[in-house]
Amino acid sequence: MVQLGLVGLGKMGFNMRERLRAAGHEVVGYDRNAEVSDVGTLADLVASLEAPRIVWVMVPAGEATRATVAELGELLSEGDLVIDGGNSRFTDDTHNAAVLAEHGVGYLDVGVSGGVWGKDNGYGLMAGGSEADVERAMPIFDALRPEGPRDEGFAHAGGVGAGHYAKMVHNGIEYGLMQAYAEGFELLEASDVVQNVPGVIKAWQRGTVVRSWLLDLLIRALEEDPQLSELEGYVEDSGEGRWTLEEAINNSVPAPVISAALFARFASRQEDSSAMRAVAALRNQFGGHSVKSVSK
């Protein structure tokens, strides 16, 4: 059993603390929200751990993670280890590792997949960093990952940054998968040939080529709301799809499906589209085609 500090007890961190404790590990959690926090400050958390310490950071990617890592660099000691399990951009990892290295503190970046289901199912994990640091954190990884063979739920992806890179690509794929199901659903809804759309999708669950966990979730959503009529077709994105596309550009990799999925999200959030106003204007200009004017 190992001892672990866990910074960030939101939707993901809170559940991970539960899962780690259930596996018998000692977890000291810190969150700005005192109701869920085990200690009062980040310094208290560090003080409550025996060296050499392991601190898992699970706070929002970007500024919050960078600031937490910097603060941990000041608080921790040589030989300690920080693990960033958030959805950081892989380009942050080199920086974070360097900040910590100045204090002799090690660094692992870990992509964590599984969402709210991970507490019970376990989390898919992709780690970046040195072999020694990965080995050291393995009891934690083994507790967090799903049951079954280790290599079916955990990978050491490569050096620093590789864990978040793998998670970024994972999420880019996820965008494409979701959009593929979504287009099929819309076509089934739009056509009147299939009269039993939720039934058809439910029947894809066993035996078919398209069966997947995302399909199971779609079926679950359709069981609650067979036409998804309670929802708006408005979809946020949290960054990984954009980064995947930028990496595709940087590596000259065609990514038509992932980009289409991302653009569909962008479009879903637009009340009106400047681009389509321009197309409407052009059609009106050359063909005298009627246009819809804004109601006054």
Number of amino acids touching a copy of itself (CB under 8 A):
140
Considering only CA atoms, which of 249, 65, 235, 263 is closest in space to residue 164?
Answer: 65
- The two tokens of residue 230 are 């309670």
Site for a copy of itself in 143-172 (CB under 8 A): 145-148, 151-159, 161-162, 165-166, 169-172
Beta carbon nearer to a copy of itself, 10 or 52: 10
296 catalytic per annotation: no
Beta carbon nearer to a copy of itself, 79 or 211: 211
By CB under 8 A, is residue 179 in contact with a copy of itself?
A: yes
174 catalytic per annotation: yes
Out of 119, 167, 240, 247, the active site residue is: 167
With CB under 8 A as the contact rule, the residue among 34, 50, 102, 207 that binds a copy of itself is 207
- The two tokens of residue 126 are 């992709």
> ∠ CA(171), CA(210), CA(213), 5° rounding?
50
With CB under 8 A as the contact rule, the residue among 20, 83, 175, 240 that binds a copy of itself is 175
CB of 81 within 8 A of CB of 90?
Answer: no
Site for a copy of itself in 54-113 (CB under 8 A): 90, 113
| DSSP output for 64-78 | HHHHHHHHHHHH--T
243 has which bridge partners?
Answer: none
286, burial (CB in 10 Å: exposed 0-12, middle 13-18, buried 19+) = exposed
CA 105/CA 72 separation, integer angstroms: 9
185 has which bridge partners?
Answer: none
Site for a copy of itself in 230-259 (CB under 8 A): 230-236, 242, 244-259
Out of 26, 71, 174, 202, the active site residue is: 174
Site stretch for a copy of itself (CB under 8 A), options 27-35, 45-53, 57-65, 282-290: 282-290
Beta carbon nearer to a copy of itself, 70 or 116: 116
Beta carbon nearer to a copy of itself, 119 or 136: 119
**CA distance to 47, 59, 102, 168, per residue, from 63 (Å):** 24, 10, 20, 18
Active site residues: 167, 174
